[in-house]
Amino acid sequence: MTSSGHDQASTTGLIPGRYIVQLQPGVDFVAHLQKIQRLLKSSGALGSIRPDAPLAAMGIYIVNMPANVAMILQADGDVKHMEQGRYLPLESS
C-alpha cells in the first residue's frame, strides 16, 4: 500500500502548526515576527504567541504559525533552535 502524499501538500504553508522556538539571547521575538509579517504582507497569518513566563525568560516561545512563516524564521540567524512540537503549556481556565 502506498499513499499518494498530495492530500494537503498545496495548502501546507497556510495551515498553522505549533512550534517551539528558542532564540539567541537578546532577540525581541515579537518584533521579529512582525518583520516577517511585513515581509509576507499578511496581517493575521501568525496566529498566537504564548510566552510561558519561565520559558520566555530563557528565550523559548511556543508559537502557532504557518509553515511558510516557520521556514523564514528558521532561516534567520536569530533562531537558535526550532522544532514542531506537541508541548502544551498548562492553561488556567
pLDDT of residue 5: 44
Q: Which three cell numbers stand for residue 18?
A: 505549533
On whether residue 48 sits in a domain, the answer given is yes
45 neighbors 37 (Cβ within 8 angstroms): yes
More confident residue, 31 or 87: 31
Q: Number of folded domains in the chain?
A: 1
| Residue 92: pLDDT over 50 | no
On whether residue 10 sits in a domain, the answer given is no
* Mean pLDDT of the chain, nearest integer: 71
DSSP string, the chain: ------SSGGGGGGSEEEEEEEEPTT--HHHHHHHHHHHHT-SSTT--EE--HHHHHTTEEEEEEEHHHHHHHHHSTTEEEEEE---------
Place of cell 523564514: 72
pLDDT tens-digit readout, 7-22: 444 455 566 788 888 8
On whether residue 34 sits in a domain, the answer given is yes
Taking the model in full, what pTM does it have?
0.59
Output the domain CATH number for residue 69.
3.30.70
| Residue 37: pLDDT over 70 | yes
| Residue 34: pLDDT over 70 | yes
Domain span at 39: 16-84
On whether residue 73 sits in a domain, the answer given is yes
